[in-house]
Structure 1
Amino acid sequence: MGYFAKSGNLFQSFPLITYKPIRKFLSNSNRKSSIRTLTQEASRIVGLELRIEEFKPITNAALLILTSEKSITLNENMSLVALGEVREENADESLLKLARKLAVILTGENVVSTYRTLGLKSI
C-alpha cells in the first residue's frame, strides 16, 4: 500500500498510483515535479477522496498485517516508516516505478498538509 522513500517514510500510495489522472502525471514527472504541479490540474484530484474511501478496507487490512509483522511503524508526524527491507518480489514493476516517483514528489512534505493539498478531509 505504500512505498519506501529514501527518508524511510511510507505513503499510502496505491489509491493514488492506480488513479489514471495521477498515474499519467507521475509517468511524465521529473525531479522538478512537486505536489503543487501535481495539483495544478483539478482533474487529477477530482474524485480522489472517493477512490481512497473505496480502498480503505484493503489499506486498513494491509496496515494491520504490516503492523503485526512489525514491518512498519507510525511516526509522530503521522507518516509510516518501514522497519527493515521492503519486499518487492511480487510487486508490479510499473506500479513500483510510479510509487517511487510519488515518493520523490512527497519527500519532505508534511503528511497533514499533503492530505489537505490533495483535497482530502481526513487521514
Structure 2
Amino acid sequence: METTDGVEDVVEGAGDIIQHLETLHNNPFLFARTLANFYAVMPPQKGSLLLAYLVLPIALHAPARILLKKNSGRTTLRSFLLERDRIFGLERRVQEWREITNATVQYLTGANILAIKSDLAVTCTRDFDLEDISPIDVATSAKALGRIFAPYDVPTIYRMLGVMKL
C-alpha cells in the first residue's frame, strides 16, 4: 500500500515537532536554578563537580523528590536510602541526564554563577537571580539533596548510592 505525499509530510512534520518538544523539555535553562541551589548549600570539596551528575536524576525522580521537598533537615544519606525505590535505576538515569547536566554546568560557569577549581571543587559564586523556570519542587529538592550530601565526600556518596560509573 502506497502512502501519499501528504501523509509523508505529516509524518515528517511530527518528527520535527517531537524534536522541538524534546529540546524545550531538556533545556539547560530549565535546570540552572536546580544545580545552583544544590551547590549553594554544598560546601566546596575535591571532586564535587561529579555530584552534579546525581542532582537531576535524583531531584527529578518522584519517589526521591517527595522526601526531599518535605525534608526538615533531619534526613541523612542513610535514611534517604532506606527506601530503595528512591534510587532504583539511578545509574541508568545518570546516563540519561548526563548531556543536559553538562550543558547546565557549562551555562552556570559561563554566567559566573558556579566556579570550578582545578581539583574539580565547585563553589556557588553568586545567587541565581533569574526567575525559576524549573519543574515544581525540583530546585527545592536539589537544595535538600545538597544538605544531605554535605557531610560526605564524593567517593562515599557514589559508593552508598551504588553508582559505579558515569
* TM-score (ref. length: structure 2): 0.62
Q: How far has the Cα of 1:45 moved from its partner?
A: 1.0
Runs of 4+ aligned structure 1 residues displaced above 6 Å come to: none
Equivalent residue in structure 1 for 2:58, among 16, 33, 47: 16
Aligned to 1:108: 151
Greater displacement, 19-28 / 34-43: 19-28
Q: Which has the larger Rg?
A: 2
Q: Note the residue ranges of structure 2 that are not aligned, 5 or more in a row.
A: 1-30
Q: AA paired with 1:117?
A: M
With over 3 angstroms needed to count, the CA separation of the structure-2 counterparts of 1:75 and 1:113, relative to structure 1, is farther
Structure with greater helix percent: 2
* Structure 1 SS opposite 2:123: strand
* SS in structure 2 at match of 1:81: strand
What is the aligned length? 123
RMSD: 2.5
Identity %: 23
Are 2:95 and 1:95 aligned?
no
Cα distance change on mapping 1:31 and 1:76 into 2, 3 Å: farther
Unaligned runs of 5+ in 1: none
Instruction: Indicate the larger mover: 6-15 or 17-26.
Output: 6-15
2:43/2:150 contact within 8 Å kept:
yes
Aligned mates of 2:141, 2:92 — CA distance in 1: 21
Deviation at 1:48, TM superposition (A): 0.8
Q: TM-score, normalised by structure 1?
A: 0.80
Q: Which residue does 2:22 correspond to in 1? A: none
**C-alpha displacement of 1:75:** 4.6
